Structure 1
Amino acid sequence: MAAKIVLAALVALVVLWAYAQHRARQHEARAEAAFPPQGRILDVNGHRVHALTLGSGPDVVLIHGASGNLRDMTFSLAPRLAARYRVTVFDRPGLGYTDRINRTGATIRQQAELLSDAARQLDIERPMVLGHSYGGAVALAWAVHRPDHIAALVPLAAPAKPWKSDLSLYYKTLSHPVIGPLVIPLLTAFVRDARVERAVSEIFEPNAVPPGYIAHVGAPLTLRRDSLRANALQRANLLSEITAMQDAIARLTLPIEVVHGTEDTTVGLRIHAEPLAEELPSATLTRLPGIAHMPHHAAEDAVIDAITRAAVRAGLHPAD
């Protein structure tokens, strides 16, 4: 009798697992149908990279943050910049429609080098690089490891210094070598898109979410199995990668326009932006009073002004 019970339990688990995988595939298909690629897919060193280019003028590359995709930048910022610049927006590896680099979590250096190579494939030689949040760490790695391929740096609400707070339970679970692969398909299968959209809205607080942003940004793409895993691994590895890069960051001399909100509780102003600006003579810090973690939406004009200053400092001349 005990053996039959165990066997029945195993069969039930197998059936549940198969059903979860089936639902996960359906959820992913719906997300990709609702939010298809906006740009084109490049083959870069054997990896698929999703890139979108708008406008003409001096080159600006925009890199999105954790759990996101390039739609975060194409909602408003990229189209506005395209009036004066050639703007190129990428999906980071494992997110949006750019393939994962590996199964262990692409480092910020690997991501920066892949996107740098993708930019060169598009004949972009010395862009200004803006990175938001985690994408700002990738932009810093770009400046450190590809200094001949960047004209100026704009870290936006970006981590730049080591921190003491622990990794959240969410990221600990999803990045775990055993538990993560077991939990992630269940999240993809059973978590509603509305829950992810609420989480996106919470990132803006206390600032308002711009009308139409949730419908545009493609939050359901984040719930795909590969994206959840890649994002969690990248986030779990970030502290050690930022720590290891400190000496190289201290040697940066290119024009740097740091932009950070005073109400950012996701990436702290005093932990990251202020020490970075104090350390680097070439860095200028713009504090945005009352702005939280999404300044490229809540204070878009200030972000565009920072890019303009970076262009002037780098000797670039935006189109009139």
Structure 2
Amino acid sequence: AAVVLGFMLATWWIATKAERLVPPCGKFIEIGGSRIHYVEAGEGRPIVFLHGLGAQLHHFRHTLFGRFGAGYRLIALDRPGSGYSVRAGGASGRLPEQAEVVRRFIEELGLERPLIVGHSLGGAIALALAIEHPTAISGIALIAPLTHLEARVRQKFDLLYVPSRLKRWILAHTLAIPYSLKYAEPTMKFIFAPQAVPGDYMIAGGGWLGLRPAHFQATSTDIVAVEEDLGRLEQRYGEILMPAGILFGADDRVIGIAAHGEPMPGRIRELDFERVQGLGHMPQFVEPERVVAFIERIAARAFPA
């Protein structure tokens, strides 16, 4: 019991520090019982950014927002359960459910058919939006997207695959956070490889926010949702007829380009596919100018003059 209490206190201390170092920086909106935290900048044609597994809106706000030309309204949100967004009580976190939350977010903010940018798992949710709610958006620009159900991706995140909600909660409030902090450095090196982890990632990039119980629960829920939903979604990519692009690092060690990038030009009509030699899983941190140019290229197709 003393050991468990020790882990719980350590978890509380780490989470409190995380929230002190990276406080909320945006606005909040209620969407069907979920409380969504989001930031926006600029005016003009809307672009909505969806982050990946275990991430949050700073992955775009910090890296990309200051680099766009005029004429865009940029909006990044914390997906339900991640960052400072709170997932609705009965929510499953399934991919179509997350896509529906984004659709309602678009509606509530009065955005006229935005371009959706999705990184990693956010790419899978952007694809779900394009398939299930094609009239709500004008196009998709995907960065290192998760597109296919693949055992190797699951194996890399096996410790996060916890189907039982009760076990997930217990782990989140005891072992998960102290162990995540202990192994934060090798984990970050793996995610950014072959590039180096930016020195300001933990604070400016929001990295500390991943070290909180709610964030572990959301990340584990996302992993389970991928197993349940991605196989069915990938059968429907041929239905996507809107402007679409994918930028993928050829040296991505988290989500391999061979399984998740290279099959896609054959699946989506007129897909703009950009393969970048030597680049890993975090292009927005490593080559932000290239990523902005890619997004603006897809935006030109999605928002014709």
Is contact 1:254–1:282 with CA below 8 Å preserved after alignment? no
- Picking from 72, 76, 79, the partner of 2:66 is 79
Is contact 1:90–1:115 with CA below 8 Å preserved after alignment? no
SS in 2 for 1:244: helix
* Same amino acid, percent of matched pairs: 26
Corresponding residue for 2:13?
A: 26
Cα distance per residue 1:104-139 (max 9 Å; x no partner): 740111111112211222221211001000111111
Corresponding residue for 1:118?
A: 105
- Picking from 271, 295, 299, the partner of 1:311 is 299
Corresponding residue for 1:59?
A: 46
Cα distance per residue 1:221-258 (max 9 Å; x no partner): 21211210221121133033111112322211000011
Taking the TM superposition and a 5 Å limit, the aligned residue runs for 1:101-250 are 101-102=88-89, 105-165=92-152, 167-168=154-155, 171-172=158-159, 175-177=162-164, 179-187=167-175, 190-191=178-179, 193=181, 195-250=183-238
Corresponding residue for 1:7?
A: none
- Structure with larger Rg: 1
SS in 1 for 2:40: strand
Corresponding residue for 1:4?
A: none
Q: Report the more deviating stretch, 296-305 or 33-42.
A: 296-305
Q: Report the more deviating stretch, 53-62 or 26-35.
A: 26-35
* Aligned residue type for 1:72: H
Cα distance in 1 for residues equivalent to 2:176 and 2:228: 28
Corresponding residue for 1:43?
A: 30
SS in 2 for 1:215: coil
Cα distance in 2 for residues equivalent to 1:172 and 1:190: 14
Cα distance in 2 for residues equivalent to 1:239 and 1:82: 38
Gaps (5+ residues) in structure 2?
none
SS in 1 for 2:43: coil
Cα distance 1:221–1:213, how it changes in 2: closer, same or farther (>3 A)? closer
CA RMSD, 1 decimal: 2.2
Gaps (5+ residues) in structure 1?
1-12
Cα distance in 1 for residues equivalent to 2:148 and 2:5: 43
SS in 2 for 1:274: coil
Is contact 1:21–1:189 with CA below 8 Å preserved after alignment? no
Corresponding residue for 1:259?
A: 247
Q: Report the more deviating stretch, 244-253 or 126-135.
A: 244-253
Cα distance 1:171–1:223, how it changes in 2: closer, same or farther (>3 A)? farther
- Picking from 88, 91, 96, the partner of 2:75 is 88
Cα displacement (A) at 1:142: 1.2
* Aligned residue type for 1:222: G
Is contact 2:245–2:298 with CA below 8 Å preserved after alignment? yes
Cα displacement (A) at 1:179: 4.4
